[in-house]
A and B are shown apart, each in its own frame.
Chain A
Amino acid sequence: MSTEPAVAVELADVTKDYSVGLRGVRLRALDRVNLRIAPGEVCVLLGPNGSGKSTLLKLLAGLQAPSAGCCRVEGVDAESARARGLIGYMPESPAFPVGMTVGALLRHYAELSGLDESAAQRCTAAVLETVGLLNRVAVKVGTLSKGLTQRLALAQALVHEPKVLLLDEPTAGVDPRGAEEMLALIRKLQALGRTIVLSTHQLEQAAALGGRVVLMQAGRVIFSGNWPDFAGEGESACFRTEPLSPAMRDELTTWLAARGHTLRAAGGAWPTLQARYLERLDEATGKGRSP
Protein backbone atom coordinates (compact mmCIF):
# COMPACT_ATOMS: atom_id res chain seq x y z
CA MET A 1 0.00 0.00 0.00
CA SER A 2 1.41 3.40 -0.99
CA THR A 3 2.03 5.98 1.73
CA GLU A 4 2.28 8.82 -0.82
CA PRO A 5 -0.14 11.60 0.15
CA ALA A 6 -2.79 12.43 -2.44
CA VAL A 7 -1.87 16.11 -2.27
CA ALA A 8 1.74 17.28 -2.47
CA VAL A 9 1.05 20.97 -1.92
CA GLU A 10 -2.04 22.47 -0.38
CA LEU A 11 -3.12 25.99 0.42
CA ALA A 12 -6.37 26.29 2.31
CA ASP A 13 -7.98 29.73 2.57
CA VAL A 14 -4.59 31.38 2.73
CA THR A 15 -4.45 35.12 3.29
CA LYS A 16 -1.25 37.08 3.66
CA ASP A 17 -1.12 40.69 4.79
CA TYR A 18 2.01 42.80 4.88
CA SER A 19 2.33 45.75 7.15
CA VAL A 20 3.81 48.73 5.32
CA GLY A 21 5.43 51.87 6.73
CA LEU A 22 5.68 53.15 10.27
CA ARG A 23 1.90 53.32 10.65
CA GLY A 24 1.64 49.64 9.73
CA VAL A 25 -0.78 50.07 6.82
CA ARG A 26 -2.02 46.62 5.78
CA LEU A 27 -1.32 45.48 2.26
CA ARG A 28 -3.05 42.26 1.20
CA ALA A 29 -0.72 40.13 -0.91
CA LEU A 30 -2.84 36.96 -0.93
CA ASP A 31 -6.59 36.82 -0.47
CA ARG A 32 -8.21 33.50 0.53
CA VAL A 33 -6.20 31.38 -1.88
CA ASN A 34 -7.11 27.70 -2.22
CA LEU A 35 -4.89 25.38 -4.20
CA ARG A 36 -4.21 21.66 -4.25
CA ILE A 37 -1.38 20.22 -6.30
CA ALA A 38 -1.02 16.48 -6.79
CA PRO A 39 2.31 14.64 -6.41
CA GLY A 40 4.33 14.79 -9.64
CA GLU A 41 2.22 17.63 -11.04
CA VAL A 42 3.68 20.78 -12.59
CA CYS A 43 1.87 23.94 -11.61
CA VAL A 44 2.70 27.19 -13.40
CA LEU A 45 1.80 30.40 -11.59
CA LEU A 46 1.03 33.29 -13.92
CA GLY A 47 0.07 36.85 -13.20
CA PRO A 48 1.26 40.43 -13.38
CA ASN A 49 3.96 41.75 -11.06
CA GLY A 50 2.60 42.14 -7.54
CA SER A 51 -0.16 39.57 -8.05
CA GLY A 52 1.12 37.40 -5.18
CA LYS A 53 3.05 34.65 -6.99
CA SER A 54 6.31 35.14 -5.09
CA THR A 55 4.47 35.51 -1.79
CA LEU A 56 2.69 32.22 -2.43
CA LEU A 57 6.02 30.50 -3.07
CA LYS A 58 7.58 32.08 0.03
CA LEU A 59 4.72 30.80 2.16
CA LEU A 60 5.21 27.29 0.77
CA ALA A 61 8.97 27.59 1.39
CA GLY A 62 8.21 28.43 5.02
CA LEU A 63 9.92 31.82 4.76
CA GLN A 64 6.80 33.63 5.83
CA ALA A 65 3.76 32.67 7.86
CA PRO A 66 0.25 33.14 6.46
CA SER A 67 -1.93 35.73 8.19
CA ALA A 68 -4.83 33.26 7.94
CA GLY A 69 -5.34 29.77 6.56
CA CYS A 70 -2.73 27.07 6.27
CA CYS A 71 -0.09 25.83 3.83
CA ARG A 72 0.91 22.18 3.76
CA VAL A 73 3.64 20.37 1.91
CA GLU A 74 3.24 16.58 1.66
CA GLY A 75 0.70 16.79 4.46
CA VAL A 76 2.91 18.68 6.93
CA ASP A 77 2.78 22.33 7.88
CA ALA A 78 4.97 24.35 5.48
CA GLU A 79 6.68 26.13 8.38
CA SER A 80 7.64 22.93 10.19
CA ALA A 81 11.20 21.60 10.26
CA ARG A 82 10.05 18.41 8.50
CA ALA A 83 8.71 20.36 5.55
CA ARG A 84 12.13 22.00 5.06
CA GLY A 85 13.65 18.73 3.93
CA LEU A 86 10.79 18.13 1.51
CA ILE A 87 11.09 21.32 -0.47
CA GLY A 88 13.75 22.86 -2.68
CA TYR A 89 13.38 26.59 -3.17
CA MET A 90 14.87 28.77 -5.86
CA PRO A 91 14.24 32.51 -5.32
CA GLU A 92 14.01 35.00 -8.15
CA SER A 93 17.49 35.89 -9.49
CA PRO A 94 19.60 34.97 -6.48
CA ALA A 95 23.26 36.04 -6.34
CA PHE A 96 25.89 33.85 -4.71
CA PRO A 97 29.20 34.66 -3.02
CA VAL A 98 31.43 35.35 -6.01
CA GLY A 99 34.61 33.93 -4.51
CA MET A 100 33.30 30.39 -3.97
CA THR A 101 33.60 27.64 -6.52
CA VAL A 102 30.49 25.96 -7.90
CA GLY A 103 31.33 22.68 -6.17
CA ALA A 104 32.13 24.27 -2.79
CA LEU A 105 28.93 26.32 -2.87
CA LEU A 106 26.73 23.29 -3.53
CA ARG A 107 28.51 21.22 -0.86
CA HIS A 108 27.95 24.12 1.56
CA TYR A 109 24.22 24.15 0.86
CA ALA A 110 24.03 20.37 0.99
CA GLU A 111 25.66 20.34 4.44
CA LEU A 112 23.36 23.13 5.60
CA SER A 113 20.46 20.90 4.56
CA GLY A 114 21.69 18.37 7.11
CA LEU A 115 23.69 15.99 4.88
CA ASP A 116 26.99 14.70 6.23
CA GLU A 117 30.21 15.38 4.31
CA SER A 118 30.24 12.22 2.20
CA ALA A 119 26.52 12.46 1.37
CA ALA A 120 26.99 16.15 0.50
CA GLN A 121 29.86 15.24 -1.82
CA ARG A 122 27.80 12.52 -3.51
CA CYS A 123 24.67 14.67 -3.90
CA THR A 124 26.72 17.59 -5.22
CA ALA A 125 28.25 15.44 -7.95
CA ALA A 126 24.83 14.02 -8.87
CA VAL A 127 23.11 17.38 -9.06
CA LEU A 128 25.96 18.95 -11.04
CA GLU A 129 25.49 16.24 -13.61
CA THR A 130 21.71 16.75 -13.66
CA VAL A 131 21.99 20.48 -14.34
CA GLY A 132 24.95 20.14 -16.69
CA LEU A 133 27.52 21.98 -14.57
CA LEU A 134 29.84 19.03 -13.90
CA ASN A 135 32.58 20.56 -16.06
CA ARG A 136 32.38 23.78 -14.04
CA VAL A 137 32.80 22.31 -10.58
CA ALA A 138 36.02 24.25 -9.90
CA VAL A 139 34.89 27.48 -11.56
CA LYS A 140 34.34 30.57 -9.37
CA VAL A 141 30.67 31.51 -9.10
CA GLY A 142 31.45 35.11 -10.00
CA THR A 143 32.58 34.10 -13.49
CA LEU A 144 29.32 32.34 -14.44
CA SER A 145 26.91 33.86 -16.94
CA LYS A 146 23.35 34.71 -15.89
CA GLY A 147 22.03 31.51 -17.48
CA LEU A 148 24.58 29.34 -15.68
CA THR A 149 23.94 31.17 -12.39
CA GLN A 150 20.25 30.32 -12.76
CA ARG A 151 21.22 26.69 -13.33
CA LEU A 152 23.36 26.83 -10.20
CA ALA A 153 20.36 28.27 -8.33
CA LEU A 154 18.30 25.31 -9.52
CA ALA A 155 21.10 22.95 -8.47
CA GLN A 156 21.14 24.29 -4.90
CA ALA A 157 17.38 23.73 -4.72
CA LEU A 158 17.89 20.12 -5.83
CA VAL A 159 21.01 19.21 -3.89
CA HIS A 160 19.22 17.66 -0.90
CA GLU A 161 16.88 15.69 -3.20
CA PRO A 162 13.57 17.33 -2.26
CA LYS A 163 10.20 16.02 -3.39
CA VAL A 164 8.71 19.43 -4.12
CA LEU A 165 10.44 22.18 -6.11
CA LEU A 166 9.42 25.82 -5.75
CA LEU A 167 10.91 27.92 -8.54
CA ASP A 168 10.39 31.68 -8.58
CA GLU A 169 10.84 32.91 -12.15
CA PRO A 170 13.58 30.44 -13.09
CA THR A 171 14.00 31.97 -16.55
CA ALA A 172 14.06 35.64 -15.47
CA GLY A 173 16.79 37.60 -17.22
CA VAL A 174 18.00 34.60 -19.20
CA ASP A 175 18.40 34.68 -23.01
CA PRO A 176 15.99 32.54 -25.10
CA ARG A 177 18.44 29.67 -25.47
CA GLY A 178 19.24 29.71 -21.74
CA ALA A 179 15.51 29.83 -20.96
CA GLU A 180 14.89 26.87 -23.25
CA GLU A 181 17.69 24.92 -21.53
CA MET A 182 16.26 25.74 -18.13
CA LEU A 183 12.80 24.55 -19.21
CA ALA A 184 14.34 21.38 -20.61
CA LEU A 185 15.86 20.80 -17.18
CA ILE A 186 12.50 21.35 -15.53
CA ARG A 187 10.91 18.85 -17.95
CA LYS A 188 13.63 16.36 -16.97
CA LEU A 189 12.82 16.84 -13.29
CA GLN A 190 9.13 16.53 -14.08
CA ALA A 191 9.83 13.18 -15.74
CA LEU A 192 11.61 12.08 -12.56
CA GLY A 193 8.34 12.56 -10.69
CA ARG A 194 9.10 15.78 -8.82
CA THR A 195 6.21 18.07 -7.92
CA ILE A 196 7.05 21.48 -9.36
CA VAL A 197 5.46 24.84 -8.61
CA LEU A 198 6.95 27.66 -10.66
CA SER A 199 6.14 31.23 -11.46
CA THR A 200 6.98 32.79 -14.80
CA HIS A 201 6.09 35.43 -17.36
CA GLN A 202 7.19 33.23 -20.31
CA LEU A 203 3.77 31.95 -21.37
CA GLU A 204 4.67 30.01 -24.52
CA GLN A 205 7.60 28.23 -22.86
CA ALA A 206 5.61 27.47 -19.71
CA ALA A 207 2.77 26.05 -21.81
CA ALA A 208 5.23 23.55 -23.26
CA LEU A 209 5.63 22.13 -19.74
CA GLY A 210 1.95 21.24 -19.66
CA GLY A 211 0.36 20.50 -16.31
CA ARG A 212 -1.69 23.02 -14.40
CA VAL A 213 -1.84 26.76 -14.89
CA VAL A 214 -2.92 29.12 -12.12
CA LEU A 215 -3.54 32.74 -13.02
CA MET A 216 -3.36 35.24 -10.19
CA GLN A 217 -4.32 38.86 -9.89
CA ALA A 218 -4.30 41.15 -6.86
CA GLY A 219 -3.66 38.20 -4.54
CA ARG A 220 -6.51 36.07 -5.87
CA VAL A 221 -6.62 33.02 -8.09
CA ILE A 222 -8.73 34.02 -11.10
CA PHE A 223 -8.13 30.90 -13.16
CA SER A 224 -6.98 27.39 -12.32
CA GLY A 225 -7.03 24.63 -14.88
CA ASN A 226 -5.08 23.02 -17.70
CA TRP A 227 -3.43 24.82 -20.59
CA PRO A 228 -6.05 24.01 -23.27
CA ASP A 229 -8.73 25.50 -21.01
CA PHE A 230 -6.52 28.52 -20.32
CA ALA A 231 -6.03 29.05 -24.04
CA GLY A 232 -9.78 28.84 -24.47
CA GLU A 233 -9.63 25.90 -26.86
CA GLY A 234 -12.95 24.60 -25.56
CA GLU A 235 -14.57 28.02 -25.71
CA SER A 236 -13.88 28.96 -29.30
CA ALA A 237 -12.79 27.57 -32.64
CA CYS A 238 -10.21 29.06 -34.99
CA PHE A 239 -10.16 28.80 -38.77
CA ARG A 240 -7.54 30.10 -41.13
CA THR A 241 -8.55 31.46 -44.56
CA GLU A 242 -7.02 33.72 -47.16
CA PRO A 243 -7.34 37.45 -46.20
CA LEU A 244 -10.97 38.61 -46.07
CA SER A 245 -12.21 42.01 -47.12
CA PRO A 246 -14.24 44.02 -44.53
CA ALA A 247 -17.40 43.33 -46.55
CA MET A 248 -16.79 39.61 -46.54
CA ARG A 249 -16.03 39.68 -42.82
CA ASP A 250 -19.36 41.44 -42.20
CA GLU A 251 -21.09 38.84 -44.34
CA LEU A 252 -19.44 36.05 -42.36
CA THR A 253 -20.47 37.66 -39.07
CA THR A 254 -24.06 37.87 -40.26
CA TRP A 255 -23.98 34.29 -41.46
CA LEU A 256 -22.68 33.08 -38.11
CA ALA A 257 -25.16 35.22 -36.18
CA ALA A 258 -28.05 33.72 -38.17
CA ARG A 259 -26.93 30.32 -36.87
CA GLY A 260 -26.53 31.48 -33.26
CA HIS A 261 -22.75 31.98 -33.27
CA THR A 262 -20.60 35.01 -32.59
CA LEU A 263 -17.43 35.99 -34.37
CA ARG A 264 -15.36 36.88 -31.31
CA ALA A 265 -12.14 37.83 -33.00
CA ALA A 266 -10.79 38.27 -36.48
CA GLY A 267 -7.27 39.17 -37.48
CA GLY A 268 -4.20 38.22 -39.38
CA ALA A 269 -2.76 35.97 -36.66
CA TRP A 270 -3.89 33.18 -34.37
CA PRO A 271 -4.83 34.39 -30.89
CA THR A 272 -1.72 33.96 -28.80
CA LEU A 273 -1.49 32.75 -25.24
CA GLN A 274 -0.49 36.26 -24.32
CA ALA A 275 -3.73 37.59 -25.81
CA ARG A 276 -5.73 35.03 -23.79
CA TYR A 277 -3.73 35.93 -20.69
CA LEU A 278 -4.50 39.62 -21.10
CA GLU A 279 -8.15 38.88 -21.87
CA ARG A 280 -8.53 36.84 -18.72
CA LEU A 281 -6.89 39.56 -16.62
CA ASP A 282 -9.20 42.17 -18.16
CA GLU A 283 -12.24 39.95 -17.60
CA ALA A 284 -11.27 39.62 -13.95
CA THR A 285 -10.98 43.39 -13.52
CA GLY A 286 -14.18 43.93 -15.50
CA LYS A 287 -12.44 46.00 -18.17
CA GLY A 288 -13.30 43.82 -21.11
CA ARG A 289 -11.57 44.10 -24.46
CA SER A 290 -13.11 45.09 -27.71
CA PRO A 291 -12.88 42.40 -30.41
Chain B
Amino acid sequence: MRRVWLIAAATLRESLQHRSFALLLLAALAFVAGTLFLRQFNFGSSELKFVADLGFGMLSLGAALLAIAMMTQVFFDECERRTLHLLLARGVSRSEFLLGKLAGVALLLGLYALMLLACLWPVLWARETALLALMPDAFDRGSGLNFAGVMIAAYASWLKACVLAAAVLWLATLAENRVFAMGCGLLLLIIFHSAAVWAAYGSNGGWPVWLLHGLGYLLPDFGAFDLTPAAFAGDGGFVVRAVRLTLYAVLYGAIFIGLGVLQLRRREI
Protein backbone atom coordinates (compact mmCIF):
# COMPACT_ATOMS: atom_id res chain seq x y z
CA MET B 1 0.00 0.00 0.00
CA ARG B 2 2.96 2.32 0.61
CA ARG B 3 3.82 2.27 -3.06
CA VAL B 4 0.22 3.00 -4.03
CA TRP B 5 0.25 5.99 -1.70
CA LEU B 6 3.62 7.20 -3.05
CA ILE B 7 2.35 7.02 -6.65
CA ALA B 8 -0.95 8.67 -5.65
CA ALA B 9 0.85 11.54 -3.90
CA ALA B 10 3.15 12.08 -6.90
CA THR B 11 0.17 11.95 -9.28
CA LEU B 12 -1.75 14.50 -7.22
CA ARG B 13 1.26 16.80 -7.02
CA GLU B 14 1.76 16.64 -10.76
CA SER B 15 -1.94 17.01 -11.63
CA LEU B 16 -2.21 20.13 -9.50
CA GLN B 17 0.41 21.75 -11.71
CA HIS B 18 -1.62 21.19 -14.88
CA ARG B 19 -3.19 24.36 -16.22
CA SER B 20 -6.34 22.49 -17.24
CA PHE B 21 -7.14 21.79 -13.58
CA ALA B 22 -6.75 25.43 -12.57
CA LEU B 23 -8.76 26.63 -15.57
CA LEU B 24 -11.62 24.20 -15.02
CA LEU B 25 -11.73 24.96 -11.30
CA LEU B 26 -11.78 28.71 -11.89
CA ALA B 27 -14.49 28.39 -14.53
CA ALA B 28 -16.62 26.23 -12.23
CA LEU B 29 -16.14 28.56 -9.26
CA ALA B 30 -17.03 31.57 -11.40
CA PHE B 31 -20.13 29.77 -12.68
CA VAL B 32 -21.31 28.86 -9.18
CA ALA B 33 -20.64 32.35 -7.86
CA GLY B 34 -22.42 33.72 -10.94
CA THR B 35 -25.66 31.98 -9.94
CA LEU B 36 -26.07 34.79 -7.40
CA PHE B 37 -27.15 36.96 -10.33
CA LEU B 38 -30.19 34.72 -10.82
CA ARG B 39 -31.93 36.85 -8.19
CA GLN B 40 -32.44 39.41 -10.98
CA PHE B 41 -35.00 37.08 -12.55
CA ASN B 42 -37.18 36.82 -9.43
CA PHE B 43 -37.84 33.06 -9.52
CA GLY B 44 -39.22 33.17 -6.00
CA SER B 45 -38.82 30.10 -3.79
CA SER B 46 -37.79 27.89 -6.71
CA GLU B 47 -34.64 29.94 -7.13
CA LEU B 48 -32.87 27.91 -4.45
CA LYS B 49 -33.57 24.64 -6.25
CA PHE B 50 -32.44 26.21 -9.51
CA VAL B 51 -29.15 27.41 -7.98
CA ALA B 52 -28.55 23.98 -6.42
CA ASP B 53 -29.24 22.23 -9.75
CA LEU B 54 -26.81 24.51 -11.58
CA GLY B 55 -24.16 24.19 -8.84
CA PHE B 56 -24.32 20.41 -8.63
CA GLY B 57 -24.53 20.20 -12.41
CA MET B 58 -21.28 22.13 -12.64
CA LEU B 59 -19.72 19.96 -9.94
CA SER B 60 -20.78 16.78 -11.71
CA LEU B 61 -19.84 17.90 -15.24
CA GLY B 62 -16.54 19.48 -14.19
CA ALA B 63 -15.55 16.41 -12.17
CA ALA B 64 -16.41 14.13 -15.10
CA LEU B 65 -14.36 16.22 -17.55
CA LEU B 66 -11.49 16.36 -15.07
CA ALA B 67 -11.66 12.60 -14.56
CA ILE B 68 -11.41 11.99 -18.32
CA ALA B 69 -8.72 14.60 -19.03
CA MET B 70 -6.51 13.98 -16.00
CA MET B 71 -6.70 10.20 -16.00
CA THR B 72 -5.70 10.07 -19.66
CA GLN B 73 -2.99 12.66 -19.10
CA VAL B 74 -1.32 11.00 -16.12
CA PHE B 75 -1.36 7.55 -17.73
CA PHE B 76 0.06 8.59 -21.09
CA ASP B 77 2.59 10.94 -19.46
CA GLU B 78 4.07 7.97 -17.61
CA CYS B 79 4.17 5.86 -20.78
CA GLU B 80 5.59 8.54 -23.07
CA ARG B 81 8.18 9.81 -20.59
CA ARG B 82 9.23 6.18 -19.96
CA THR B 83 8.84 6.73 -16.22
CA LEU B 84 6.45 3.76 -16.26
CA HIS B 85 9.52 1.65 -17.12
CA LEU B 86 11.30 3.03 -14.06
CA LEU B 87 8.40 2.12 -11.80
CA LEU B 88 7.89 -1.39 -13.13
CA ALA B 89 11.63 -2.12 -13.22
CA ARG B 90 11.89 -1.39 -9.50
CA GLY B 91 9.18 -3.85 -8.59
CA VAL B 92 6.02 -1.74 -8.63
CA SER B 93 3.29 -4.10 -9.82
CA ARG B 94 0.87 -3.13 -12.54
CA SER B 95 -2.01 -3.15 -10.06
CA GLU B 96 -0.10 -0.87 -7.66
CA PHE B 97 0.63 1.48 -10.54
CA LEU B 98 -3.00 1.68 -11.70
CA LEU B 99 -4.38 1.95 -8.15
CA GLY B 100 -1.87 4.70 -7.37
CA LYS B 101 -2.80 6.64 -10.48
CA LEU B 102 -6.53 6.25 -9.76
CA ALA B 103 -6.07 7.26 -6.12
CA GLY B 104 -4.10 10.35 -7.18
CA VAL B 105 -6.80 11.46 -9.60
CA ALA B 106 -9.51 10.61 -7.03
CA LEU B 107 -7.77 12.93 -4.56
CA LEU B 108 -7.66 15.65 -7.19
CA LEU B 109 -11.38 15.17 -7.90
CA GLY B 110 -12.05 15.30 -4.16
CA LEU B 111 -10.18 18.58 -3.94
CA TYR B 112 -12.20 19.93 -6.86
CA ALA B 113 -15.49 18.82 -5.26
CA LEU B 114 -14.53 20.30 -1.89
CA MET B 115 -13.55 23.64 -3.40
CA LEU B 116 -16.74 23.83 -5.42
CA LEU B 117 -18.79 22.86 -2.39
CA ALA B 118 -17.03 25.51 -0.35
CA CYS B 119 -18.25 28.03 -2.93
CA LEU B 120 -21.71 26.53 -3.49
CA TRP B 121 -22.65 26.14 0.16
CA PRO B 122 -22.37 29.85 1.09
CA VAL B 123 -24.22 30.76 -2.12
CA LEU B 124 -27.09 28.40 -1.26
CA TRP B 125 -27.12 29.49 2.36
CA ALA B 126 -27.12 33.19 1.44
CA ARG B 127 -29.97 32.77 -1.03
CA GLU B 128 -32.04 30.67 1.38
CA THR B 129 -31.59 33.28 4.13
CA ALA B 130 -32.49 36.11 1.73
CA LEU B 131 -35.53 34.27 0.35
CA LEU B 132 -36.76 33.39 3.84
CA ALA B 133 -36.47 37.04 4.84
CA LEU B 134 -38.51 38.07 1.81
CA MET B 135 -40.99 35.19 1.93
CA PRO B 136 -41.15 33.55 5.36
CA ASP B 137 -43.48 30.85 4.00
CA ALA B 138 -41.39 30.26 0.89
CA PHE B 139 -40.33 26.75 1.89
CA ASP B 140 -42.65 24.06 3.09
CA ARG B 141 -41.52 22.06 6.05
CA GLY B 142 -38.53 19.98 5.05
CA SER B 143 -38.13 21.52 1.60
CA GLY B 144 -35.36 23.93 2.63
CA LEU B 145 -31.65 23.24 2.44
CA ASN B 146 -30.29 20.22 4.25
CA PHE B 147 -26.58 20.31 5.06
CA ALA B 148 -26.16 16.53 5.20
CA GLY B 149 -28.10 16.27 1.95
CA VAL B 150 -25.81 18.78 0.23
CA MET B 151 -22.77 16.86 1.44
CA ILE B 152 -24.05 13.50 0.21
CA ALA B 153 -25.03 14.96 -3.16
CA ALA B 154 -21.48 16.28 -3.57
CA TYR B 155 -20.04 12.97 -2.33
CA ALA B 156 -22.15 11.08 -4.90
CA SER B 157 -20.87 13.33 -7.69
CA TRP B 158 -17.30 12.63 -6.57
CA LEU B 159 -17.94 8.87 -6.47
CA LYS B 160 -19.39 9.00 -9.98
CA ALA B 161 -16.32 10.84 -11.26
CA CYS B 162 -14.07 8.24 -9.59
CA VAL B 163 -15.91 5.37 -11.32
CA LEU B 164 -15.56 7.24 -14.61
CA ALA B 165 -11.84 7.78 -13.92
CA ALA B 166 -11.40 4.02 -13.31
CA ALA B 167 -13.19 3.26 -16.59
CA VAL B 168 -11.04 5.81 -18.47
CA LEU B 169 -7.91 4.28 -16.95
CA TRP B 170 -8.93 0.90 -18.30
CA LEU B 171 -9.56 2.50 -21.71
CA ALA B 172 -6.14 4.15 -21.56
CA THR B 173 -4.46 0.76 -21.10
CA LEU B 174 -6.20 -0.35 -24.31
CA ALA B 175 -5.63 2.82 -26.33
CA GLU B 176 -2.59 3.70 -28.39
CA ASN B 177 -2.91 7.44 -27.86
CA ARG B 178 -4.50 9.92 -25.47
CA VAL B 179 -6.91 11.49 -27.97
CA PHE B 180 -8.55 8.13 -28.59
CA ALA B 181 -8.76 7.45 -24.84
CA MET B 182 -10.30 10.86 -24.16
CA GLY B 183 -12.83 10.46 -26.98
CA CYS B 184 -13.86 7.04 -25.71
CA GLY B 185 -14.02 8.45 -22.17
CA LEU B 186 -16.56 11.05 -23.26
CA LEU B 187 -18.55 8.33 -25.01
CA LEU B 188 -18.50 6.24 -21.83
CA LEU B 189 -19.85 9.21 -19.86
CA ILE B 190 -22.86 9.36 -22.17
CA ILE B 191 -23.31 5.57 -22.21
CA PHE B 192 -23.16 5.27 -18.41
CA HIS B 193 -25.75 8.04 -18.09
CA SER B 194 -27.99 6.12 -20.50
CA ALA B 195 -27.62 2.76 -18.71
CA ALA B 196 -30.82 3.16 -16.70
CA VAL B 197 -32.79 4.04 -19.83
CA TRP B 198 -31.46 0.93 -21.60
CA ALA B 199 -32.22 -1.28 -18.63
CA ALA B 200 -35.77 0.07 -18.62
CA TYR B 201 -36.27 -1.06 -22.24
CA GLY B 202 -38.55 -4.01 -22.53
CA SER B 203 -36.70 -7.21 -23.31
CA ASN B 204 -39.20 -8.01 -26.08
CA GLY B 205 -37.90 -7.39 -29.54
CA GLY B 206 -34.92 -8.28 -31.66
CA TRP B 207 -31.35 -8.84 -30.50
CA PRO B 208 -30.39 -5.13 -30.51
CA VAL B 209 -33.05 -4.49 -27.88
CA TRP B 210 -31.90 -7.52 -25.88
CA LEU B 211 -28.33 -6.32 -26.09
CA LEU B 212 -29.20 -2.81 -24.91
CA HIS B 213 -31.38 -4.22 -22.15
CA GLY B 214 -28.52 -6.47 -20.97
CA LEU B 215 -25.93 -3.71 -21.20
CA GLY B 216 -28.20 -1.45 -19.17
CA TYR B 217 -27.95 -3.89 -16.28
CA LEU B 218 -24.25 -4.61 -16.79
CA LEU B 219 -22.93 -1.05 -17.01
CA PRO B 220 -22.78 1.35 -14.08
CA ASP B 221 -25.87 3.53 -13.85
CA PHE B 222 -24.68 7.12 -13.41
CA GLY B 223 -28.27 8.21 -12.78
CA ALA B 224 -28.00 6.52 -9.39
CA PHE B 225 -25.34 9.06 -8.39
CA ASP B 226 -27.60 12.07 -8.92
CA LEU B 227 -28.64 12.95 -5.39
CA THR B 228 -29.30 16.66 -5.87
CA PRO B 229 -32.89 16.25 -4.55
CA ALA B 230 -31.35 14.94 -1.32
CA ALA B 231 -29.96 18.42 -0.72
CA PHE B 232 -33.52 19.52 0.03
CA ALA B 233 -35.04 16.33 1.40
CA GLY B 234 -35.29 16.09 5.12
CA ASP B 235 -36.00 12.36 5.13
CA GLY B 236 -32.58 11.37 6.51
CA GLY B 237 -31.12 7.95 5.70
CA PHE B 238 -28.01 9.64 4.34
CA VAL B 239 -25.55 7.20 5.85
CA VAL B 240 -27.31 4.21 4.31
CA ARG B 241 -27.38 5.95 0.92
CA ALA B 242 -23.72 6.88 1.20
CA VAL B 243 -22.71 3.31 2.12
CA ARG B 244 -24.79 1.81 -0.70
CA LEU B 245 -23.38 4.19 -3.28
CA THR B 246 -19.83 3.65 -2.01
CA LEU B 247 -20.15 -0.13 -2.36
CA TYR B 248 -21.64 0.31 -5.83
CA ALA B 249 -18.75 2.59 -6.87
CA VAL B 250 -16.08 0.34 -5.32
CA LEU B 251 -17.52 -2.68 -7.16
CA TYR B 252 -17.33 -0.98 -10.56
CA GLY B 253 -13.99 0.66 -9.71
CA ALA B 254 -12.54 -2.76 -8.85
CA ILE B 255 -13.90 -4.27 -12.09
CA PHE B 256 -12.36 -1.51 -14.24
CA ILE B 257 -9.03 -1.64 -12.42
CA GLY B 258 -8.98 -5.43 -12.75
CA LEU B 259 -9.59 -5.14 -16.50
CA GLY B 260 -6.89 -2.46 -16.69
CA VAL B 261 -4.34 -4.67 -14.93
CA LEU B 262 -5.08 -7.55 -17.31
CA GLN B 263 -4.69 -5.27 -20.32
CA LEU B 264 -1.53 -3.60 -19.02
CA ARG B 265 0.06 -7.04 -18.60
CA ARG B 266 -0.60 -7.74 -22.27
CA ARG B 267 0.52 -4.31 -23.44
CA GLU B 268 4.06 -4.07 -24.82
CA ILE B 269 5.76 -1.22 -23.01
Interface residues of A (CB under 8 A from B): 18-19, 58, 61-64, 81, 84-85, 87, 89, 91-97, 99-100, 108-109, 111-114, 156, 160
Please, could you name 22 A-B residue pairs with CB atoms under 8 Å apart, sorted by A? A58-B85, A62-B88, A63-B269, A64-B268, A64-B269, A89-B90, A91-B82, A94-B81, A95-B82, A95-B83, A97-B14, A99-B13, A99-B17, A108-B10, A111-B6, A112-B3, A112-B6, A112-B87, A112-B91, A113-B91, A156-B86, A160-B90
Minimum CB–CB distance from B97 to chain A (whole Å) comes to: 10
A97 and B91 form a contact (CB under 8 A): no
Cross-interface CB contact of A95 among B2, B81, B89, B90, cutoff 8 Å:
B81
CA distance in complex: A97, B14 (Å): 7
Smallest CB-CB separation from B269: which chain A residue?
A: A63
Cross-interface CB contact of B88 among A63, A93, A100, A109, cutoff 8 Å:
A63
Interface residues of B (CB under 8 A from A): 2-3, 6-7, 10, 13-14, 17, 80-83, 85-92, 268-269
Cross-interface CB contact of B89 among A62, A111, A114, cutoff 8 Å:
A62
Smallest CB-CB separation from A114: which chain B residue?
A: B91
A84 and B86 form a contact (CB under 8 A): no
CA distance in complex: A114, B82 (Å): 20
Question: B87: which A residues are within 8 A, CB to CB?
Answer: 112
A61 and B85 form a contact (CB under 8 A): yes
Question: A92: which B residues are within 8 A, CB to CB?
Answer: 82
Smallest CB-CB separation from A95: which chain B residue?
A: B81
B268 and A89 form a contact (CB under 8 A): no
Q: Chain A CB within 10 Å — which of B10, B87, B91 has the most?
A: B91
Smallest CB-CB separation from B5: which chain A residue?
A: A111
CA distance in complex: A92, B87 (Å): 15
Question: B268: which A residues are within 8 A, CB to CB?
Answer: 18-19, 64
Question: A111: which B residues are within 8 A, CB to CB?
Answer: 2, 6
CA distance in complex: A100, B16 (Å): 12
Cross-interface CB contact of A94 among B85, B92, B269, cutoff 8 Å:
B85
A91 and B10 form a contact (CB under 8 A): no
CA distance in complex: A64, B2 (Å): 24
CA distance in complex: A85, B14 (Å): 27
CA distance in complex: A64, B265 (Å): 9
CA distance in complex: A113, B87 (Å): 8
Smallest CB-CB separation from A90: which chain B residue?
A: B86
Question: A18: which B residues are within 8 A, CB to CB?
Answer: 268
